[in-house]
Structure 1
Amino acid sequence: MNTNNLLPLYDICVVGSGPAGIILALEYADLNPNKSVLLVEYGSPSQPAQNNLDNSITVNNAVNHHLPADCTNKGLGGTSATWGGRCVLYDDVDFIDRPVLKGGCTWDERIFADVKEHTPVAAKYFECGEAVFDLKDAKAVKPIAEGFKQGVVTDTAIERYSMPTRFGKRYQADIEAKKNITVLQGYEARSFSEPDENGKVQFLTIREVASQTIKAVAAGKFVLAAGAQESTRILLRNKQIFKNTGAPAALGKFYQGHLSGKIASVKFYGDPKKTDYYFIKGKDGSYSRRRFQFSTQYLKDNDLLNTAIWLDNPLYFDPKHKSGAMSMMYLAMITPVLGKKLAPPAIAHSITKGKVNKVTTHLGNIVKGLPGSLTKPASIFYKRYCMARKLPGIFLYSPQNTYALHFHAEQVPFEGNSMQLGADGESLNINYTLTDADVQSVVKLHHTLDKWLRDCGCGELQYWFDEDKLPEAIRQMSKDGLHQSGTTRIADSADLGVVDRNLKVWGTENVYVCSSSVFPTSGQANPTFMLGAFAVRLANHLTWPAKNTPPLQQQEVSTPINLTT
């Protein structure tokens, strides 16, 4: 390689500029003002609509998994370009191995306790308000609906919403202002050098997407923060970095997302005006919202998967809801040009289900609901798209006190769900399915919620399908690929996982992964906020390693190596 293709020595090289990469780079740069950070991003401002990375991925199950172009993004800010902003914390039960997980929970509650110490800083980056995700300690919290009581089912867990859902736009100026951060856009991470006998990797080659020119990056530490798909693919393609220990058996396996959809409504018995169906707005202008969850003890005792269920709107595409406002918003979403501007593909699909359905009946709803059919969507549009603190979503009041229930459920860490390299050693094959345990847990927890509400005298569930049709309905409606975890999972040994509890790749001394792919269990939570907290934690660990683990052997990186291509 020509010496012109050798980059200066950096203290840390971060691959990927999604929320994790941006938070890690900024936090490390703040903690280490005299150290240099290189942020490498595949996307660029001039990139075409499609890219070779997404186009080289094959998904074996289009029913339950979105195509990569629908759920990932390239460029500064990464997938936050189409992120809905939901910030949710994991739960204690996610760090407890249960029989249903079959040994797949390879992290523990000590990690959770450690990560929670970094959630206040993460919350500042997300601008989602206080790092408080449960109202149980708040004063004078009223039940979600009249008659509800805490117990097996809880109603105090909340989700928060990020204001800078587009991290690239929000933090570009902050990154540019940091003299110790260098950004390279339009470069793909390719090959790590072989580690020495101590596991030290000297350099990473990167390839310019436009010209295919190869450059070498020498750094003290390397962090893969390129999202689950690409972080996993880079490790699968670089088996040489495991020469001292052998490639971890778990690499690329135990891929998980979430089961998600609606199979029932809830009919509350009490005063509809006392039902807390909408957003809670904090003093700082941040939004949060309540959800039903299930106690740790109940999930453990009944060997069930962690699941959240929240109040939602009826299915937009079905005009039986008789809401002029909903019909108006549905027709806007299926309008070819307008719909693409209102929501990214995966979110739009969750609303429309890809269906153009009974347009005439929807128009009838709009006419009957005038003027509210127009004024309510107009008000929502203004709050959602024109205000600095945007309205995170759309939830409509029900005078009948009846709401659809949206479930968001954990998956079993199933070895057969995987990411594997194709025969060419470059393409990526995603194998993904739903297990019987995944589906049955969703059904059983709906029954649990129904019984609890009835026992409280609070309400009841009204199922949309016959009992024997529920499993197949869940299989048909659940579609993920947005929340990717498990393929480079944390564990206390290379026999069980890919990275250690400080996110360092087993068999190396200075290569780390900061991606939701390190999460061994998926829980009920969207992983983005949790990953942000891990990014803050990693920045601190790379600054003060002794605070997290016994001191690591510190070695200086040699000067850049002159490569030949």
Structure 2
Amino acid sequence: MLIDGIAGLKDQRGRIVIVGSGPVGLGLAVDLARRDIPVMLLESGESNANPVVQQLSDAELTDARRHDKMAVAVARRLGGTSNLWGARCLPFDPVDFAPRDFVDARWPIRYTDLAPYWDRAIRSTAAGANHFDTSPILSQDADDGFTADRLERWANVQAAQNVHADAIRSMPALEVRTRCTVTDLKTAGGRVERLTVAHSITGETVDIDVDTVVLAAGGIETTRLLLAAQKVNPGLFGGPDGPLGRHYMGHLIGEIADVTFSSSDIGRAFDFHVDDYGSYVRRRLVASDRTQIENRLLNCAFWPVVAPVADPRHRSAILSMVYLALSVGPLGRLIVAEAIRRRHALDKPQRIAAHVRNLIVGAPSAAAFAAQFFWRRYFRPERLPGFFVQNAANRYGLFYHSEQAPHPDSRVVLTDQVDRLGLPKLKIDLRFTDQDVDSVVCTHDLLDQWMRKVGMGVLHYRMPLEERAAAVMEQAAHGTHQVGLARMADDRTQGVVDGDLACFDLPNLFLATTAVLPTSGQANPTLTAVALALRLGDRLAQRMTSKPEVHTPMSKVASL
């Protein structure tokens, strides 16, 4: 059931209250409601985007070059940031969970603890199947320093509210409330006793009693609520000098090299395609666990991309058409996610005449490409996630998507300013370090050596050796993945929640968000966060049915 506003919102004892309706929160809510466990889901936004509500997420950016604008990083509406994302779904790798002495983080769970939940997470995101390996490009006896045989896949339905539309409409145990902004966690006796909920437009408030609360409002907004609670009770979450709000991570992304493949077949193998499990997939190049550990590398993935679309010297009618389309905001957002669009084009196109000349010369090919793209993206059951244009030279840009190492000075803090509903605003200071940059440069070099050795191709750097680190740092900017701000750990000095996502200091408060991930890996974090939420759902279901008097970690429950 979908209800707008706070009218009639009152005592929620006996229900699980989930704050936030993105893929994580909505996926958890539906999973619990399917078991006839009563769930109340509170969403700050409306069914559609409303700039008045969106402004509640405005924040101060210490360095605007490093962090996406908040309208790109956060979506206050039903479905959350799934309305903005590119819908890439892949799990974290086993190496991400392993102790690494060069990474300042320790996971309190193992990869095997999440393995049973990948299938359910894939179904919850409409992303095909739990299948992330494909047939080898190279012979079986090729050097295994890297692999080109791992897949990333995309959801066929982008927005979470559309994935779960039937459940929202018909599940008796699920009540979804829009225009309901949680502004305060009221604690007593080491528990969350009440939530203050404000109407997102009028500002009218109501306090509701609660038994169990799950914050799933995204990494930044979840952390903001916790920091506001800590401001009232400074001893919470490790105290002011504790882990809350620190270790903010996203990913390092960009291009410093091109790649020439040794054959057109190899280039073709990296194109988007629908696999046997019914969604679009694409190969990526990743260093083996051995290569990463031996060389003290952060996890990093690579894939070939088209030439920079903004530069008309590519003389491609298709790429010029793409650039001009991306430069028109509403049209560009139909093609790619907003964060991706902004990396390729400004809202006002540059060098228009040159792009128009390219388009005129190759008009037939551009028209055919456009028709096929929109057909495959909007009128097929499998949603085409992007575009890849093959060329006769087999030369492409080489895009990297690298793990960012946790660092305590990369953080968010409260400011003295408050939003329209009285919640303190954030100051965001996302920082990248020499370790992040050096790892990207070194991984490129090792990849080049490996590709030459196995006969797959060769890298061409766009700048000399002495300028590569600076080029990586110049491109270092993120803000949409929001990892590490309230990380899980073995104890409260190192993290905010335990391995079951329960807050150390408030055991009836749980976090289902990318903020709990201790490391960022090479993968987009959403699928892993959904899997963790579904694992939490099993624990909450057990609590609702057996009502144990003491908190028992899931790892111990599973061994009984």
Query: What is the TM-score when the length of structure 2 is the normalising length?
Result: 0.90
Alignment match, 2:513: 515
- 2:558 corresponding residue in structure 1: none
CA distance 1:454–1:250, change in 2 (3 Å):
same
1:446–1:551 CA distance, 2 compared to 1 (3 A): farther
Other-structure match for 1:562: none
For 2:258, the equivalent position in structure 1 comes to: 265
- Structure 2 CA distance for aligned equivalents of residues 530 and 55 of structure 1: 24
Q: CA deviation at 1:552?
A: 5.3
Whether the 8 Å contact between 1:152 and 1:295 is mirrored in structure 2 is: yes
1:200 aligned residue: 191
Is 1:113 matched with 2:112? yes
Which structure 2 segments of 5+ residues have no match? Answer: 1-5, 419-423, 553-560
Is 2:286 the counterpart of 1:293?
Answer: yes
Give the counterpart of 1:230 among 212, 215, 221.
Answer: 221
Partner of 1:133: 132
* Residue of 354, 357, 376 corresponding to 1:364: 357
CA contact (8 A) 1:306 1:524 kept: yes
Q: Distance in 2 between matches of 1:466 and 1:527?
A: 33
Please give the alpha-carbon distance, in whole angstroms, between the structure 1 residues aligned to 2:355 and 2:472. 26
Choose 51-60 or 214-223, whichever is displaced more: 51-60
Give CA-to-partner distance per residue, 1:239-280, whole Å, 9 cap, x none.
256757753700000000000011111111234477412123
Contact 2:125–2:155 at 8 Å: present in 1 too? Answer: yes
Structure 2 counterpart of 1:539? 537
Task: Determine the structure 2 residue equivalent to 1:24.
Answer: 28
Letter in 1 for 2:528: M
Q: Any conservation in 2 of the 1:96–1:105 contact (CA below 8 Å)?
A: no
CA contact (8 A) 1:272 1:401 kept: no
Contact 1:194 1:243 in 2 (8 A): no
What's 1:560 paired with? none
Q: Cα 1:534–1:325, aligned 2, differ >3 Å: closer, same or farther?
A: same
Q: Secondary structure at the match of 1:378?
A: helix
Across the aligned residues of Structure 1 and Structure 2, the Cα RMSD in angstroms comes to: 2.6
Tell me if structure 2 keeps the 8 A contact 1:243–1:507.
no
The equivalent of 1:151 in structure 2 is 144
Letter in 1 for 2:447: L
Give per-residue Cα distances to partners, 1:321-351, cap 9 Å, x unaligned: 2221111111111135533544443121122
Partners in 1 of 2:48 and 2:308 — Cα distance? Answer: 38
Other-structure match for 2:421? none
CA shift, 1:159, in A, is: 0.4
Q: Which residue of 2 aligns with 1:324?
A: 317
1:442 positional shift:
0.6
Cα offset for 1:528?
0.9
CA drift of 1:82 comes to 1.2
Paired with 2:397 and 2:357, the residues of 1 have a C-alpha distance of 22
Partner of 1:563: none
- Give the 3-state SS of the residue equivalent to 2:349 in structure 1: coil
Call closer, same or farther: CA 1:540–1:284 in 2, change over 3 Å.
same
Matched, 1:58 2:55: no
Mapping 1:473-512, distance limit 5 Å = 473-512=471-510
CA shift for structure 1 position 314:
1.2
1:379 aligns with 2:376: no
The alignment status of 1:351 with 2:333, answered yes or no, reads no
Cα pair distance change 1:150/1:349, threshold 3 Å? farther
Deviation of 1:46 after TM superposition, in Å, equals 6.6
Match of 1:209 in 2: 200
Partners of 2:27 and 2:530 within 8 A in 1: yes
Equivalent position of 1:88 in the other structure: 90
- Report the Cα offset of residue 238 of structure 1: 0.6
Deviates more, 1:172-181 or 1:361-370: 361-370
Q: Deviations over 1:158-196 (max 9, x none)?
A: 101101211123323311211111111111112222231
State the distance in 1 between where 2:500 and 2:140 align.
45
Give deviations 1:388-424, integer Å, cap 9, x for gaps: 3221110111221112111000111011110100124
Matched residue SS, 1:262: strand
In structure 1, distance between residues paired with 2:330 and 2:78: 25
Q: Given the superposition, is the C-alpha separation of residues 554 and 444 from structure 1 closer, same or farther in structure 2, using an over 3 Å criterion?
A: closer
Residue 77 (structure 2) aligned to one of 62, 75, 78: 75
Distance 1:41 1:244, change over 3 A: closer
What's the counterpart of residue 559 of structure 1?
Answer: none
CA-CA distance at 1:536 after TM superposition:
0.9
Aligned pair in 2 of structure 1 residues 546, 301: CA closer, same or farther (>3 Å)?
A: farther
Residues 73-119 of structure 1: CA deviation (Å, up to 9, x unaligned): 11110000111110011112211232332xx22215x4321112111
CA distance in 2 between partners of 1:71 and 1:244 (Å): 27
**In 2, are the aligned partners of 1:8 and 1:217 still within 8 Å (CA)?**
yes
Distance 1:419 1:384 in 2: 37
In structure 1, stretches of 5+ residues that fail to align are 136-140, 556-565
Amino acid at match of 1:11: R
Letter in 2 for 1:200: R
- AA partner of residue 347 (structure 1): I
Q: 1:471 aligns with which of 455, 460, 469?
A: 469
Q: Quick one: distance in 2 between partners of 1:354 and 1:320?
A: 20
Identity %: 31
Equivalent pairs counted in the alignment come to 539
Asked whether the 8 Å contact 2:298–2:402 carries over to 1, the reply is: yes
Against the structure 1 CA distance between its residues 516 and 246, is the aligned structure 2 distance closer, same or farther, given a 3 Å change threshold?
Answer: closer
